[in-house]
């Protein structure tokens, strides 16, 4: 739906201290203040959040799905970049 007075915003919620803000969805609002209020009402009703970011959807630059071969496939063959070749002493426990 075209909504010239209420552009789209992306909503990010941080659920706990120490965690990162995570994208949870989007909404329509006339400006940043209203977007923040709407985000509170739509995405934190069940106690999901301690902090909210709202970002105009137009501010996001996205990668092109058509370029995914060039963008992401070269990383797939480089298993040595995963830190799975180290032996972790038992005393360390879960890392």
Rounded Cα distance between 86 and 90, Å, is 12
Q: Which of 24, 27, 52, 54 binds other proteins (CB under 8 A)?
A: 27
Note whether 29 binds other proteins by CB under 8 A: yes
Q: 63-69 contacts: CB < 8 A, separation 24 or more?
A: none
Interacting positions 43-62 with other proteins (CB under 8 A)? 45
Least distance CB 47 / other proteins (angstroms):
13
CB 25 within 8 A of CB 11: yes
Residues that bind other proteins (CB under 8 A): 3, 6, 27-30, 33-34, 37-38, 40-42, 45
């Amino acid at each position: 739906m075209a909504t010239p007075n209420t552009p789209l915003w992306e909503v990010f919620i941080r659920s706990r201290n120490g965690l990162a803000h995570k994208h949870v969805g989007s909404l329509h609002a006339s400006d940043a203040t209203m977007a923040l209020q709407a985000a509170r009402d739509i995405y934190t009703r069940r106690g999901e959040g301690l902090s909210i970011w709202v970002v105009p959807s137009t501010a996001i630059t996205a990668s092109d799905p058509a370029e995914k071969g060039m963008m992401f496939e070269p990383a797939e063959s480089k298993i040595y970049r995963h830190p799975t070749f180290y032996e972790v002493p038992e005393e360390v426990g879960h890392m």
